[in-house]
Chains A and B, each alone.
Chain A
Amino acid sequence: MKRSSNRFLIMILSLAAVIAVVLSVMSYFSATSAVLPNLAGIVVTPFRAASAAVSETLRNWADYFTQFDALKEENRQLKLQIAEMEEEVRQATFDREENAHLRKVAQLREQRRDLHLESARVLVQDSSNWYSLLTINKGTAYDIEVGDCVVTEEGYLLGVVTEAGLNWATVRTILDSESSIGALVFRSGSSALAQGDFSLMSEGRMALTYLGAEPDVVAGDLVVTSGLGGYYPSQVVIGYVEEVRTGDDGLAQYAVLRPEMTLEGLTEIYVVTSFDIVE
């Protein structure tokens, strides 16, 4: 009896290994999403949408009672910020007209920035402590593909689509330890690499690496996407440099980056399905 029980368990574990290998191979050879994960995603998407709606309603309800004072203060701050920004917009309008005129004089091509955005809702924020992933409610049916860049409502970089099913897609946020995006320090124009870091992920921070031999980066610097290689649009805001640190080897320096996007309360996002930028 005991021997047959052991044999049965060995059989189950062998079957588990076979399933694991089949699933891994299927997902490795698939360009978008393997058949089974795609089917599973299609089936659970309506349930995930319902669960996300319930979760959002409860959170909003709780926020109504707990966030009132904070929202009032934030509203006051935003009014001040709007007044400052209106002044900047007036100056920017003047600058833009002058820039257009000068480009015409210098016979440069007109600047253009066409981003095709597809809005989507967040269904699941991965709850494990090992990754930073989101599942959204749109997929290949809406021209969303693996490698598409994802931004927040405010236009801040959020992540990249890593898996796309028919009516769902998985987004790896920039905080995830496997994420890596070409970046540019806006002030100095130095190029670098914005990478997710496992040790910084739980703090909501990421690392800015490959800063060069003499890094021209200081705390407070704005970091945007470089757009090099044409994979992602350029000039999308990633975040601000918080501090510059020396790596474990004592030689190379890296910067701790505070992304502008926030995952807390995130419900609506935009996928950049295609872009055409002339600078």
Chain B
Amino acid sequence: MQPKSYRVFKWVMYALVTLLLCAFHAMFFSNIRVLGLAPFLYPMLPAMAAMFEGPRQGAVFALVLGALCDLLVPAPFRGFFAIIFPVIAALSGGIASRLQSRGFLCALIVSSLGLLTTGAFRMLVQVLAGGQYLGLMARITLGEALLTLPALLIVLPLYRAIFRRCGADY
């Protein structure tokens, strides 16, 4: 295949895997409740893509994913995910390319970062809107992150398989 075709194929594969994981989230994760909390997979996805593809391409992927999530997933305001996902991707890509080489540990760090950043931004919006219960919100953010991180065992191999199959050079 030509380099351009390769690039298109790679991003189509990323998109399909992301859709698959979103369907998985809707079918199974939304039914899981541990101590009243449910996992929240979406912030992990732009972090994973950016870890493998770098901050630039990851940010574009995150922007598209964020805009789609804004249309379908409840948030404090429409546009919430379109703002926060590229930020997560930029940070994750930066960490993967400068601080920690791509691998399980890096995936764990960037996923945690993605989940905690989303939670923190949500808390900020709630507080600015006059919301109380800051402690409770922090507990939910932390619980949500801890509950979602085991999903890395499913998410990481899928994204890594695409990265290895299609290569990082395109």
A residues at B contact (CB < 8 Å)? 5, 8-9, 12-13, 15-17, 19-24, 26-27, 34, 36-37, 40-41, 44, 47-48, 51, 54-55, 58-59, 124-131, 133, 170, 177, 198-199, 202-203
Find residues 51-102 in chain B having any chain A CB closer than 8 Å to their own CB: 55-56, 59-60, 63, 66-68, 70-74, 76-80, 82-83, 85-87, 90
Contact A48 B133 (CB under 8 A): no
Chain A residues contacting B55 (CB-CB under 8 Å) are 5, 9
Q: A47-B23, A128-B38, A130-B76 are in contact. List 16 more A-B contacts (CB 8 A).
A: A12-B90, A13-B86, A13-B90, A16-B86, A19-B67, A20-B79, A21-B79, A34-B78, A40-B72, A55-B27, A55-B30, A58-B27, A129-B37, A130-B140, A198-B132, A202-B36
Contact A125 B30 (CB under 8 A): yes
7 contacts between A and B (CB under 8 A): A9-B55, A41-B72, A47-B23, A127-B25, A129-B143, A131-B74, A177-B131
Find residues 126-145 in chain B having any chain A CB closer than 8 Å to their own CB: 126, 131-133, 136-137, 140, 143-144
Contact A24 B79 (CB under 8 A): yes
Measured between C-beta atoms, what is the minimum distance from A105 to chain B in Å? 54
Main SS at interface, chain B: helix
Contact A24 B26 (CB under 8 A): no
Total number of A-B contacts with CB less than 8 angstroms?
122
Contact B60 A12 (CB under 8 A): yes
Chain B residues contacting A59 (CB-CB under 8 Å) are 31
Give the interface residue-count category, chain B. 35 or more
Asked if B11 lies at the interface with its beta carbon under 8 angstroms from chain A, I say no
Asked if B163 lies at the interface with its beta carbon under 8 angstroms from chain A, I say no
Chain A residues contacting B59 (CB-CB under 8 Å) are 8-9, 12-13
Chain B residues contacting A5 (CB-CB under 8 Å) are 55-56
Chain A residues contacting B60 (CB-CB under 8 Å) are 12
Q: Which of A127, A170, A177 contacts B38 (CB 8 A)?
A: A127
Chain A residues contacting B28 (CB-CB under 8 Å) are 55
A147 to B36, CA, bound (A): 28
Chain B residues contacting A40 (CB-CB under 8 Å) are 68, 71-72
A128 to B115, CA, bound (A): 12
Q: Contacts A15-B63, A40-B68, A40-B72 given: A26-B23 contact, CB under 8 Å? A: no
Report the nearest B residue to A201, measured CB to CB.
B36
Chain A residues contacting B143 (CB-CB under 8 Å) are 129
Q: Contacts A12-B60, A40-B72, A199-B133 given: A127-B77 contact, CB under 8 Å? A: no
